Every structure is written in C-alpha cells, then in structure tokens.
Amino acid sequence: MKKISSFLLAFLVLFSSCKSAVIYTHEQVMNTINTKQELINRFGLPTNKSNDQNLEQWIYDYGTVNRTSTYVTPVTTNATATYNSYSNNVNVNATTTGGNAFSSTSSYKKYAKFLLKGDSVVRWESVGINEEVIDKKQRRKNIWYPALFGVAALITYLILDEAAFQRSLDQDDYDYWND
C-alpha cells in the first residue's frame, strides 16, 4: 500500500509541475520598443513631452493611485445609577469619551517614461504598469490539471484503501471459520 501511495504522490508531483503562463515578461516587452513609431503603436501619443539638448523625453501618465486607511478608536460611555428609596428618586450620571480617528494615505504615480535620441528609444522606465503577455489557456491548465490530478489521486487512494480493508475483513473471516 505504501508503494502505491508513493507512486501516486510521485505521479501527482510530476504532472502538476506546470509550464509558465508568461509568454513575455514586462521587461522583454518594453525592450522590444526600439523606435518612435513602435512606441506610438504600442502606447499612442505621450501625455507629456520635453526636450533636453539632443534627448527627447516622453511620459505616459496613468494617474496616481491613492490608498487611505482609517482607524477609529471606539466611543466609550460609563454610567452609574443610584436609587434613593426614601425619596423614590433615581440619579444617573453618565460620562462619554469620544473616539479618535487616525488615517494614513499612501500614493504613487503610475507612468511609463521613455528617452529618445532622434528616432530611437535609448532608455525606458516604468512604475505601476505591467505589459507582460500571458497565455490564458496555459494559466487555466496550470490551475485545473493539478486540481484534477489531486482529485484522481485521492479517489484512487480511497478505492485502494477500501480494497485493502475488504481483503483484511475477508482474511479475518477466513481465519475465523478455518481455525
């Protein structure tokens, strides 16, 4: 039984080692842009252009991402009540302390920046954007194949375990009647 379990585990590991779904990384895609025309074809016209001596800088601005998190301490109220049975009065004293709010904001700009010398791209820089090319079919395979192999291995293990249990019961029954 242990040999079968080891075989199933090895089979699962072997077939669940998936191929990467990334066809081209972000860096590979950005490095393929070598001319001004390829840059325009990929990103369109820039948001901002500037010239410095013989270099031209094109910036594609994709906005600013802001993330704000707020924490508010709870409001607390303390109340005390006293009852005077002689005058049949109830006195209630309540004090409330207000909560405090703390918030923090983080932000960064999303952009792609290219330096051009004449008609060719000299250097690029990007923050917050991802141009990688992904094979969607391969990504689905990477999710489904290991899951299906895992289920098949579990079902096979349960069937073999049940068969071993039945053999054990049959052997016990045989030993009982043939002693």
How confident is the model over 130-170, as pLDDT tens digits? 888 888 888 788 888 888 888 888 898 899 989 988 988 88
Q: Which pairing describes strands 48-52 and 89-97: parallel, antiparallel, or unpaired? A: unpaired
Task: State the Cα–Cα distance between residues 6 and 157, nearest whole angstrom.
Answer: 11
> What global pTM score does this model have?
0.51
Task: State the Cα–Cα distance between residues 124 and 52, nearest whole angstrom.
Answer: 16
Task: State the Cα–Cα distance between residues 82 and 90, nearest whole angstrom.
Answer: 6
Secondary structure (3-state) at 177 = helix
Q: What's the token pair of residue 32?
A: 């393929």
Helix (H) / strand (E) containing 22: strand 22-24
Task: State the Cα–Cα distance between residues 158 and 156, nearest whole angstrom.
Answer: 5
Total count of residues recorded for the chain: 179
Residue 38 banded pLDDT, cuts 50, 70, 90: very high
Q: What's the token pair of residue 146?
A: 């290991």
pLDDT digits (tens, 9 = 90+) for 40-98: 999 899 988 999 888 999 999 888 777 777 766 666 777 777 777 777 777 777 777 76
